[in-house]
Each structure stands twice: as structure tokens, then as C-alpha cells.
Amino acid sequence: MAARITVLGSGSSGNATLLQAAGRGLLIDFGFAPRDLGLRLQASGLSWSNVNAALLTHTHGDHWNRYTLEQFRRLKIPLIAHALHHDTLAACDEYGPLKKAGLVHGYTPTPFTLGGILRVQPVEVPHDSEPTFAFRIGQSLSDGTSWSYGHASDLGCVPEALLHLFEGVDALSLEFNHDVQLERASPRPRHLVQRVLSDRGHLSNTQAADVLRAWVDAGEAGDIQAVVALHLSRDCNRPELALRAATAAAPHSQIYAATQTLPTPTIAIVPRLGRRNASCTVGLVADKAG
């Protein structure tokens, strides 16, 4: 059975992606208020009933929302985040009741499984919110097929560990934040431009396309079924620029540019034979956060 991804929104004002597999839904980041997330789910033919767990990449404010923590508590949706993420979230009033309800769980940069079904491999990536993680998520099916999905939303450069981890993924959501020329020419304060362009800032279209090309070259033609360009800057990028760069790097893949305002189409990830799965030890489960 195909897995499905829907980027509900991506950009500096909010980020959320829903991965659906085996009848369950994993929300990666929740940078929108509950009502907004509900409307985005509804626009995609979904609802809050399709969300069974949430996974956090990092704690910049466009990747989580305090009122959505309360929604998680009401709907009994567990939150899975790194211990240092939990330390940050604990400063808001909505976190305590979620933890008291037993819905707070932790992960480390080691493989774990969700629901005994999904294998999740986190890897820390360079960004000015420490720690920030990308994920490879996958599943092996009883017929011998499998699928895998890579998600990397905020990173200033691609570390070697991520380069290897995402080899052979079937679908990928990757940051295409800015066009370097537009960034340099923008009226933004110089310190902000320098931050974005740094190795702890955000990926440019060129950087993302280069690493995407490396992943395509490491596999077969058309190996990556779909690519979603994430976190496009409204001031220093254009969807057509990101799409052009991604298409040149992965000409046989479906290419989408996520936006801040509307969800992407729901994208099927078709399981295939002979796939390399995430190097994940089956049996590990996300721990309760202390």
C-alpha cells in the first residue's frame, strides 16, 4: 500500500507536513494554530482524525505552535521531540497538561520505530536552532516491497551523514529556501542575509539542487519518485526558480514547490522491491520524555 505525503504549508510563517502510512498519520512539525491546521487538512480531504502523532524537527517558532499543543492534548495525539526541544516547549503553559496526560515522548539521534510499523532515523543537521533534525522514515511490507521518505526542512548545508542517509529514498522534501542573487540584493539587514547564507542558515536553490543531483546520480534514473521544495523565501525566492533548479537535478521525478498559503497535492509514495531502507534497528520505540 502506498504511503502519502501532504505538505500542509511551508515557509517562514509556518510549517507542517502529514505523512500517512498503514492507516495512521504522522504530522512533521506543527507551525500553525489548530484552526488553520484544520482548514489545511480539510482542503486536502483530511481532518484531525488523520493525525495520530506529531514529530518535531526543531523549536524555531515557525515549526511549532503553543495552541496546537493544547489541541494535541484534547485529541490525545502524542508529541515526539528531542529532550532539548522539550526543555524549550516546557516554557509555555500548554506544555504541562500535555506532559501530564502522558503524551510527551522523546527521541535521540538513533533509530526508533513508531507503532511497530514506521522506522524513523533522525540525523542532526546544521541550523541556528540547536538541535535541528532531518528524518528518513520508511516501512517494509509483507510482500517484500518497501518505501522510504526523506524530510529536511531547515539546514544551512548538507552534512555527510545526511548525504548518506537519504541515498535511495523514494520521495523527498528538501529545503530550497532562497536564490543567492535575490538574497544578496534584498533590502534585508546585512546580519540577516549573512545568517541565511551561512552554513547554519538555509539551503539555497543551488545547494539543494546539487545535493539532489548527487542522490539521483547515486541511484537509477527516476529513482526518486517525488521531490517537494520546502521553505521557499517569499522575499528572496520564486517558485519557478526553485522548480527549475529541482527539475534540472531530478528530471524524471515529480517536482512540487510547497507554499505558505496552500497545501500541496497529496503525493503517493509507491512501495518497490529491492529498496534500501533506513538503517534502523527494529524494536526501538520513542521514549517518554523526562
pTM: 0.94
At residue 168, what are phi and psi to the nearest 5 degrees?
80, 10
Domain presence at residue 208: yes
Q: Tell me which residue range forms the domain holding 46.
A: 3-282
Residue 103 CB partners (closer than 8 Å, separation 6+): 72, 73, 76, 77, 78, 79
Residue 288 located in a structural domain: no
Give the model's pLDDT for residue 223.
Answer: 84
Task: For residue 182, tell me if it sits in a domain.
Answer: yes
Domain at 85, CATH number: 3.60.15.10
- Decide: 150 and 174 in contact? Cβ < 8 Å: yes
Looking at the structure of the chain, the number of domains it has is: 1
154, part of any domain: yes
pLDDT number for residue 275: 59
What's the average pLDDT block by block, 10 residues per block, for the chain (290 residues)? 94 97 96 98 98 98 98 98 98 98 97 93 97 97 94 97 95 98 96 96 98 88 86 97 97 96 97 63 40
Q: How many CA atoms lie within 13 A of 195 on its CB side?
A: 9
- Digit-coded pLDDT (tens) for 170-188: 999 999 999 999 999 999 9
Q: Is residue 289 part of a domain?
A: no
How far is the CA of 109 from the CAs of 37, 81, 161, 233, in angstroms? 28, 11, 11, 28
Query: What pLDDT digit, counting tens, does each position of 22-74 carry?
Result: 899 999 999 999 999 999 999 999 999 999 999 999 999 999 999 999 999 99
d(CA 256, CA 26): 20
